[in-house]
């Protein structure tokens, strides 16, 4: 992980955006109308599901690796991932000509594994939870060398993810509220800080699936906790804990954390495909459901940007 302990400032996000811009897509901000109930014309989707490798993770992965000393990065890259960060690291390795080792959980999907291997990374399946895969990745680096890349609790990764907020505000200066799903908290932490530094009046809402209320519980208790019992249909958001960097930024810059009932998430994914032609994963659908189910108070004319964090076939007709 990054050893830079200096305070993060707006200029860090601006510099990161310039650094990663040649390697990523500027994803579209898609109007939601007419299918979001109540004020749909004022809801837009930041389609990171159309980002390279299918998720926002490429932003943080590129920013982290491009900040590594050249000698370190050429020893190779290693990470543990529920899927999206692993695919991003594999893609970074392919793009920059670096070897990559990716450890995924037993619950990772076949399409995720195929995506990682298609970029030439070495894939290892280990553990039922992310932290077990992470321990295996760390042991691999300890034995063979290379750079161990944390998917969400790393300064450079968080800053890279936060470039999403800069694009939203630059394109839609009138935006009032950002809605972001939470896994380990790296996306929310970066977006929240970058957004507040760029536009202090903006509201930031974090969203979790009810079966894995990690940051919701941390905020309620005022400290980092580790959930023992996680039962969610959204494995991509099933981080049982967070890290100090993420928790600190979320506590400072996130206005509210809300929970979405598990029963409505798949419907949100289907609606995104049926009405907007957006193929999103259940993590992104969780953020959509927070808006459509009115999990937080909002005006019908409130200008809301929902970050669609990743792509997937969960809402598409099967067979």
Chain segment 65-89, per-residue pLDDT in tens: 999 999 999 999 999 987 889 999 9
Please state the φ and ψ torsions of residue 184, each to the nearest 5 degrees.
Answer: -85, -15
Question: What letter does residue 48 receive in the DSSP assignment?
Answer: G
Q: How far apart are CA 267 and CA 251, in angstroms?
A: 30
Instruction: Give the number of domains in the chain.
Output: 2
Nearest to 130 by CA among 86, 189, 89: 86
User: What's the pLDDT at 297?
Assistant: 95
Contact by Cβ (8 Å): 182, 240: no
What is the value of pTM for the model shown?
0.93
- Give first-to-last CA distance, the chain, whole Å: 42
Mean pLDDT per 10-residue segment, the chain (319 residues): 76 98 97 74 94 96 96 94 91 97 89 91 91 93 94 95 98 98 95 98 97 96 93 86 95 98 96 93 96 94 96 81
User: What's the pLDDT at 4?
Assistant: 65
Domain co-membership, 51 together with 32: yes
Domain co-membership, 245 together with 260: yes
Q: How far apart are CA 276 and CA 288, in angstroms?
A: 12
Q: How far apart are CA 231 and CA 233, in angstroms?
A: 7
Domain co-membership, 178 together with 201: yes
Domain co-membership, 290 together with 195: yes
Domain co-membership, 161 together with 189: yes
User: What's the pLDDT at 250?
Assistant: 97
Domain co-membership, 163 together with 259: yes
39: tokens are: 């004020």
Domain co-membership, 52 together with 62: no
Contact by Cβ (8 Å): 182, 83: no
Domain co-membership, 221 together with 115: no
b or e along 125-164 (b: 16 or more beta carbons within 10 Å of the residue's beta carbon)? ebbebbeebbebbeebbeeeebbbbbbbbbbbbbbbbbbb
Domain co-membership, 116 together with 218: no
9: tokens are: 């400032």
CATH number for the domain including 201? 3.40.50.1100
Burial of 220 (0-12, 13-18, 19+ CB in 10 A): exposed
User: What's the pLDDT at 319?
Assistant: 57
Range of the domain at 75: 58-148
**SS3 state at 101:** strand
Contact by Cβ (8 Å): 95, 116: no
Contact by Cβ (8 Å): 310, 49: yes
**SS3 state at 300:** coil
Beta strands in 131-176, from DSSP E residues, in sequence order: 147-148
Q: How far apart are CA 179 and CA 184, in angstroms?
A: 16
Domain co-membership, 158 together with 233: yes
Contact by Cβ (8 Å): 191, 161: yes
Contact by Cβ (8 Å): 154, 242: no
């Amino acid at each position: 992980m990054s050893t830079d302990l200096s305070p993060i400032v707006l200029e860090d996000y601006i510099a990161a955006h310039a650094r990663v811009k040649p390697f990523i897509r500027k994803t579209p901000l898609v109007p939601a109308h007419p299918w979001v109930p109540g004020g749909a014309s004022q809801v837009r989707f930041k389609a990171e599901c159309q980002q390279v490798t299918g998720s926002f993770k490429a932003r943080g992965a590129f920013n982290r690796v491009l900040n590594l000393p050249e000698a370190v990065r050429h020893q190779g890259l290693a990470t543990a991932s529920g899927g999206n960060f692993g695919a991003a690291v594999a893609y970074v390795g392919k793009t920059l000509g670096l070897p990559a080792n990716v450890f995924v959980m037993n619950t990772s999907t076949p399409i995720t594994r195929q995506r990682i291997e298609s970029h030439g990374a070495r894939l290892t399946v280990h553990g039922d939870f992310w932290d077990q895969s992470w321990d295996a990745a760390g042991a691999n680096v300890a034995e063979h060398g290379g750079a161990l890349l944390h998917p969400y609790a790393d300064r450079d990764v968080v800053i890279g993810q936060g470039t999403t907020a800069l694009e939203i505000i630059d394109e839609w200066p009138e935006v009032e509220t950002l809605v972001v799903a939470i896994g380990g908290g790296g996306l929310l932490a970066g977006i929240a800080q970058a957004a507040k530094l760029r536009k202090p009046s903006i509201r930031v809402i974090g969203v979790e699936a009810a079966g894995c209320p990690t940051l919701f519980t941390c905020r309620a208790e005022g400290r980092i906790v580790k959930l023992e019992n996680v039962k969610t249909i959204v494995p991509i958001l099933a981080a049982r804990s967070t890290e100090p960097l993420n928790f600190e930024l979320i506590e400072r810059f996130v206005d509210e954390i809300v929970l979405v009932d598990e029963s409505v998430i798949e419907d949100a994914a289907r609606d995104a495909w049926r009405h907007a032609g957006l193929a999103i994963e259940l993590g992104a659908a969780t953020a959509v459901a927070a808006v459509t189910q009115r999990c937080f108070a909002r005006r019908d004319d409130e200008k809301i940007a929902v970050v669609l964090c990743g792509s997937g076939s969960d809402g598409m007709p099967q067979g």
